[in-house]
């Protein structure tokens, strides 16, 4: 550990000289910051196609408890990645060295999590757990990789409320190696130097004030400096590839799956017995998908190259489980057996992860799904789910690029988008209001598309008792009782769920003297309010389209007439549309509400218009009807 000793001496000399004193931080870097990156130097060396080394040395001052997460060190290692050394130091607000970590201070933790059967990832973790603010931590980490598939990125500001004094990233390679990179919010070219027959390309930044993330902000890389890197030629074990084009990367992925699509004879017979009598290709795919779902389950397996290479179809058939790669390959093999072509497709999955840098081929994916061209359409299959219908993806993988793989390589395509007319919530309420203000309701709601996603997961994964527990927490009433609830699911390429609720709400209406006050909007009230901001910096990004429609019929207690009723409201905006109206007839209130939320990108100057749009909706949703009790006629004497 000669390197660690050298670093220790250097650090102590620097720290004792007051270099890490909080007093040395410029006031502009303290503003809006919870932590300050004082110094960062990343050096990534490419030693051919089999090995890389990353040296990461950084110093961060933690200003308050909201910045504590920046002080935690965590680094993973596995078959392909080795942690060579870790040095860590803790300083007080004057830059005085308080503590240096020892090997025994590092936690060594398994990377196996829930839903994972096998995983060779492990983690080294450390935290000084210092709570006297401000304080400064310093880490110097060296890791070595036996594969060149993964390159690091450089993002000096890893998140909001972090300012930066100085940060740099250097890529070290042979003079003839072409370093591929794409920079965001970094106009300068890298500085290129040569040292001992090595080419060094360096990117650097300094004096970056903290960013405050605004509501509906764009993606982080659009707001701050960010540079991504990728290999040209790379290697993982004996598998070699090139990443200059998506097509080339696809050839590498295809090579990992070659020869792994053979099915056992009993499975072949079964899939033919299911498919051979069906003429419609889409129905045939759906029935075979249901067979796969009913005979397998998802379990993550991340061992060695198995983190990238699908397990053979025969293994999945024998064991009845697999990860996303194995299950997708298994479904591909089933369809191939009956003559239906399909395509193993890489994708970046996640509810808010529908972006990749499309013009920069590199490893940006974390999941695999299957695309099946049928007639003039494509059926997408999420092979890790035992409950989703064929052809539906939901918010986990919809509306984003996918790298579709075949023997010719990879091609970027886009998964389906579910728009305003697919993401529906249609609700009908019939209710009776008692003399004491209690509201007895019968509520029927149909959720379609992405509006049913969370509910689908809930009713398919949880017991009825647990579903009721969650339902009770979600309902926005003060005092109420759920007498009955039921869910019926319609599985199709655009699935829907019908919800039936019988709820009694105590004291729903307020009775004061002879007046009765009631909210005609029983269930669907917007809770969104935005503060007006004339200093908005970044564009507005609205990413989820939906439509809600409510109709409510409330039978009132006898003897009341209308004293005050909200006017009809109609709001038309670039962000969406809203309307609501209330009518009174035959001793009943009839309430109608509709909201359409658009998606899209809007300039920062439109932010206050968006705030006004939501404010008007918030107010309209809470408009009350005032009824007054008729005076009893006086008796004649």
To the question of pTM greater than 0.85 for the whole model, the response is yes
Segment among 9-23, 221-235, 295-309, 403-417 with least mean pLDDT: 9-23
Sign (positive or negative) of CA dihedral 558, 560, 566, 569: positive
pLDDT band per the 50, 70, 90 thresholds, residue 237: confident
Of residues 154 and 5, the one with the higher pLDDT is: 154
> Which whole number is the average pLDDT over 142-168?
95
Per-residue pLDDT, 410: 97
pLDDT for the residue numbered 151: 94
pLDDT at 8 over 70: no
Q: Three-state DSSP class for 474?
A: helix
Q: Which domains does the chain have, with CATH numbers?
A: 2-236 (2.60.40.3140), 240-414 (3.10.620.30), 424-629 (2.60.120.1130)
How far is the CA of 465 from the CAs of 100, 459, 462, 477, in angstroms? 51, 11, 8, 20
pLDDT at 16 over 50: no
Hey, how many other C-beta atoms are within 10 angstroms of the C-beta on 437? 17
Q: For 104-146, how does the pLDDT look when each residue is reduced to its tens digit (9 = 90+)?
A: 889 998 866 544 455 567 889 999 999 999 999 999 999 999 9
Q: What is the pLDDT of residue 18?
A: 58
The pLDDT confidence band at residue 630, using thresholds 50, 70 and 90, is confident
Say whether pLDDT at 251 is over 90.
yes
Section 377-385 average pLDDT: 96
The span from the CA of 135 to the CA of 405, in Å, is 50
7 pLDDT above the threshold of 60: no
* Range ranked top by mean pLDDT from 77-81, 194-198, 570-574: 570-574
The structure tokens 């081929």 sit at 361
Q: Is the pLDDT of residue 290 over 50?
A: yes
What count of other Cβ atoms lies within 10 Å of the Cβ of residue 131?
A: 9
Write down the residue that tokens 């870097």 correspond to: 29
The answer, yes or no, to whether residue 286 has pLDDT greater than 70, is yes
Cβ-based burial of 457 (10 A; exposed 0-12, middle 13-18, buried ≥19): middle
Give the pLDDT confidence score for residue 304 in this predicted structure.
52
Task: Yes or no: say if 480 and 522 are a contact pair by the CB < 8 Å rule.
Answer: no
What confidence tier does 10 reach under pLDDT thresholds 50, 70, 90?
very low
Return the pLDDT at 122. Answer: 87
Flag whether pLDDT at 343 surpasses 90.
yes
Distance of CA 93 to the CA centre of its chain: 37
- Which residues have CB under 8 Å from 392's CB, separation 6+? 380, 382, 492, 493, 494, 495
Residue 2 has pLDDT above 90, yes or no: no
- Per-residue pLDDT tens over the stretch 392-438: 999 999 999 999 999 999 999 999 999 999 999 999 999 999 999 99
pLDDT at 423: 98
- pLDDT confidence bin for 211, thresholds 50/70/90: very high
- Mean pLDDT confidence for 82-94: 96
Indicate whether 13 pLDDT > 50. Answer: no
Residue in this structure with the two tokens 């200003």, named with its chain if needed: 63
Per-residue pLDDT at 5: 38
Give the pLDDT confidence of 521-532 residue by residue, as tens digits: 999 999 999 999
Instruction: Please give the pLDDT value at position 48.
Output: 85
Name the percent of the chain lying above pLDDT 70. 94
Q: What is the mean pLDDT of residues 213-239?
A: 93
How do residues 469-489 score in pLDDT, each as one tens digit?
Answer: 999 888 989 899 999 999 999
CA dihedral 538, 424, 412, 316 (to 10 degrees): 130
Residue 191 neighbours by CB under 8 Å, 6+ apart = 201, 202, 204
Residue 254 has pLDDT above 60, yes or no: yes
Q: Is the pLDDT of residue 74 over 70?
A: yes
Please report which confidence band the pLDDT of residue 4 belongs to, taking 50, 70 and 90 as the band edges. Answer: very low
d(CA 576, CA 353): 24
- Is a pLDDT exceeding 50 seen at residue 158? yes
Rounded to the nearest integer, the mean pLDDT of the chain is 92
Stretch 207-216: mean pLDDT: 96
pLDDT in tens, 492-534: 999 999 999 999 999 999 999 899 999 999 999 999 999 999 8
Q: Kindly report, residue by residue over 607-629, the tens digit of the pLDDT.
A: 999 999 999 999 999 999 999 99
pLDDT in the model for residue 305: 61
């Amino acid at each position: 550990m000669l390197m660690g000793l050298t670093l220790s001496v250097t650090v102590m000399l620097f720290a004792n000289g007051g270099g890490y004193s909080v007093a040395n931080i410029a006031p502009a870097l303290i503003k809006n910051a919870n932590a300050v990156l004082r110094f960062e130097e990343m050096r990534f060396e490419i030693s051919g196609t089999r090995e890389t080394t990353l040296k990461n040395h950084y110093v961060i001052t933690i200003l308050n408890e909201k910045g504590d997460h920046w002080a935690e060190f965590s680094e993973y290692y596995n078959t392909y990645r080795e942690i060579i050394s870790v040095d860590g130091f803790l300083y007080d607000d004057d830059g005085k060295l308080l503590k240096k970590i020892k090997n025994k201070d590092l936690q060594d933790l398994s990377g196996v999590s829930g839903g994972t059967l096998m995983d060779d990832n492990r983690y080294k973790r450390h935290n000084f757990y210092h709570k006297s603010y401000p304080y400064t931590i310093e880490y110097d980490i060296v890791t070595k990789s036996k594969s060149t598939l993964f390159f690091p990125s450089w993002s000096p500001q890893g998140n909001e409320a972090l300012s930066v004094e100085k940060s740099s990233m250097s890529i070290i390679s042979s003079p003839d190696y072409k370093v591929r990179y794409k920079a965001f919010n970094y106009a300068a070219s890298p500085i290129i130097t040569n040292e001992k027959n090595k080419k060094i390309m360096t990117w650097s930044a300094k004096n970056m004030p903290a960013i405050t993330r605004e509501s509906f902000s764009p993606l982080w890389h659009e707001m701050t400096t960010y540079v991504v890197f990728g290999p040209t030629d790379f290697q993982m074990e004996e598998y070699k590839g090139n990443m200059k084009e998506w097509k080339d990367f696809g050839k590498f992925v295809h090579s990992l799956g070659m020869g792994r699509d053979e099915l056992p004879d009993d499975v072949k017979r079964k899939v033919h017995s299911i498919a051979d009598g069906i003429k419609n290709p889409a129905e045939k795919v759906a029935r075979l998908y249901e067979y796969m779902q009913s005979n397998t389950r998802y379990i993550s397996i991340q061992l060695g190259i198995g983190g990238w290479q699908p397990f053979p179809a025969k293994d999945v058939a024998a064991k009845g489980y697999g990860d996303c790669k194995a299950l997708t390959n298994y479904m591909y093999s089933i369809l191939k057996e009956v003559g239906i072509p399909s395509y193993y497709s890489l994708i970046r999955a996640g509810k808010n992860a529908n972006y990749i840098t499309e013009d920069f081929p590199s490893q940006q994916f974390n999941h695999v799904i299957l695309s099946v061209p049928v007639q003039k359409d494509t059926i997408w299959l999420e092979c890790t789910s035992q409950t989703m219908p064929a052809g539906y993806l939901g918010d986990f993988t919809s509306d984003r690029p996918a790298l579709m793989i075949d023997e010719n390589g990879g091609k970027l395509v886009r998964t389906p988008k579910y728009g305003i007319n697919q993401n529906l919530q249609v609700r009908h309420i019939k209710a009776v209001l008692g003399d004491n203000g209690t509201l007895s309701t019968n509520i029927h709601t149909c959720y379609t598309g992405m509006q049913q996603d969370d509910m689908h997961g809930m009713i398919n994964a949880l017991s009825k008792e647990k579903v009721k527990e969650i339902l009770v927490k979600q309902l926005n009433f003060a005092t109420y009782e759920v007498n009955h609830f039921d869910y019926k699911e319609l599985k199709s390429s655009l699935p829907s769920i019908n919800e039936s609720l019988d709820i009694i709400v105590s004291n729903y209406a307020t009775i004061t003297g002879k007046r009765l006050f009631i909210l005609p909007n029983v269930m669907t009230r917007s809770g969104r309010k935005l503060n007006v901001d004339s200093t908005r910096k970044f564009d507005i990004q609205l990413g989820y389209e939906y439509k809600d429609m409510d109709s409510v019929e409330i039978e009132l207690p006898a003897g009341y007439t209308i004293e005050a009723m909200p006017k009809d409201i109609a709001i038309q905006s670039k962000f969406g549309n809203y309307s609501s109206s209330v009518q009174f007839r035959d001793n009943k209130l009839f309430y109608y509400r509709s909201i359409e939320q658009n998606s899209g990108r809007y300039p920062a100057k439109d932010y206050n218009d968006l705030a006004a749009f939501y404010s008007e909706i918030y107010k309209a949703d809470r408009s009350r009807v005032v009824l007054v009790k008729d005076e009893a006629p006086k008796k004649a004497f």
